[in-house]
Amino acid sequence: MENVLFSCEGIGLSFGNRPVLKDVSLHVAPGEILGLVGPNGAGKTSLFEVFTGRYTPRSGRVCMKGTDISSLSIHERARLGLARTYQSPIVPSSMSVGDVFRAAREAYRPFLSRFDAEWGARHAHLHVPWDRPAGSLDTFDRRKLMLACQFMRAPDVLLLDEPASGLINSEIDTLDIIIRHQADEFGIGVILIEHRLELLTAIADRVVVLDLGEVIASGRPDEVFSNPRVKAAYFEDAGHG
C-alpha cells in the first residue's frame, strides 16, 4: 500500500466474552478523509478507543507514520500527533475559552504561544470572546473550541467522533469546510465517524462500513452506499431504531 499515514490491522476487541470488534483493518493516507459509518452500537467509538489506547485490543495492531504504536499509552500517542474529539462536546464549563486554550497550550512541552491558539481558533472558525465561560457556548462553538485545541498542535491524524451530531445543515457545511481545509492544506489524515450515510457523500474521500464489529464494505461513498449488504445492515437497523 502506498503512502499510508495511519492504519490498523486485524483488530479484535471483546468485553467479557462479548465480541465488539472482529478483525477490523483500515488505513488512511495523508490528506485523506475517511468516513467510518455504521448503525448504533456497531463499534465505531470502540474502534477509536483502540486507536487512542484507552481500550486494549485482544488482537491486532495500530500503526502510525510507519511505526507500531500499539504498546504506547494514551498520552504518548497524543504527543506523536494522534488527535481526537469526542462524541459529546463536553468542555470544562467553569473555565473561560482563554483558560481552555491556555490549558491546551501548556498540556506538554514545547508550550505553545497565544498566537498558536489564535491560529487554531481561526482555522476552527471559532469567533467568540475569549473571556466567555466555555460552558456557555452552544454545541457548534464547543466543537470548534475542541477542534481549535487540536489544530494548534498540528496533529498528523485527526479522529472525529460524530462531529456533525446536533448541528443544523448550515453548520454542517461550515464543519465540512473546516475539516477539508485541514486535510488539503496540512495533509492531515482524518477519520470521521458519522452514522448518517448521506452526510458522508459530501465530505469523505472513502468510507468504511462497520456492522456488528465487522467491516462489511469499503470504497468510494457512492459505490458503498449502493452495496446491497450495506443497505440491508443499515435499513434493517434503522427500521428497528
Partner 1 sequence: MTMAGIVTSRHLLLWLLFGAAMLALPQFVSNGTIRIIIFANFLAIFAMSWDFLSGKTGYVSFGHPFLIGIGAYASAILSYRFHVPLEFSIPLAVLATLVGGTLFFLPALRIKGTYFALVTLAFMELMYQLIQVVRPDLTGGTRGMSGIKTVLTGAAPNFYLSFMLMFVIAFSLWLLSRTRLGTALDAIAMNEEAVSGSGLSTTRLKLFAFMVSATVAGIGGAFYVHYLGSIAPRALFDINFVFTIIVSALIGGASTIVGPMIGAFFMTFLLEYLRPVLPGSERYFVYGMIALVLYVYKPKGILAILADLRDGMRAQGTGRAQRGKAS
Ligand X SMILES: Nc1ncnc2c1ncn2[C@@H]1O[C@H](COP(=O)(O)OP(=O)(O)OP(=O)(O)O)[C@@H](O)[C@H]1O
Which of partner 1, Mg ion, ligand X, none binds 63 (CB below 5-8 Å, type-dependent)? none
The residue among 163, 161, 87 whose CA lies nearest residue 125 is 163
- Give the nearest distance from C-beta 179 to partner 1 in angstroms: 19
The interface partner of residue 15, options being partner 1, Mg ion, ligand X, none and the CB cut-off 5 to 8 Å by kind, is ligand X
Region 182-221 residues binding ligand X, contact defined as CB under 6 A = 195
Asked if 44 interacts with ligand X (CB under 6 A), we say yes
Binding-site member from 7, 25, 45, 174 for Mg ion (CB under 5 A): 45
In SS3 terms, 3-18 reads as CCCEEEEEEEEEECCE
Q: Which helix or strand (DSSP H or E) is residue 100 part of?
A: helix 97-105
- Residue 46 touches ligand X, criterion: CB under 6 A: yes
Q: How many residues bind ligand X (CB under 6 A)?
A: 12
Residue 42, interface with ligand X (CB under 6 A)?
A: yes
Nearest alpha carbon to residue 97 among 124, 122, 133: 133
Is 192:161 a contact under the CB 8 Å cutoff?
no
For partner 1, the binding residues (CB under 8 A) are 52, 54, 73-75, 78-79, 83-84, 86, 90, 92, 95, 98-99, 102-104, 106-108, 149, 153
Which window, 3-11, 37-45, 146-154, 215-223, contacts ligand X (CB under 6 A)? Answer: 37-45
Cell (9 digits) for 92: 470544562
Contact (CB, 8 A) for 202 and 209: no
Q: Should residue 36 be labelled a site residue for ligand X when binding is judged by CB under 6 A?
A: no
In contact, 195 and 40? CB cutoff 8 Å:
yes
159 contacts ligand X (rule: CB under 6 A): no
Query: How far, in Å, CA of 234 to CA of 148, rounded?
Result: 33
Q: Which of 1, 2, 15, 127 binds ligand X (CB under 6 A)?
A: 15
User: To 5 degrees, how large is the angle CA 145–CA 194–CA 138?
Assistant: 30
Of 27-35, 36-44, 201-209, 227-235: span binding ligand X (CB under 6 A): 36-44
Q: How far apart are the first and last CA of the chain?
A: 38
Determine how β-strand 82-85 pairs with β-strand 157-160. parallel
Footprint of ligand X on this chain (CB under 6 A)?
15, 20, 38, 40-46, 87, 195
Footprint of Mg ion on this chain (CB under 5 A)?
45
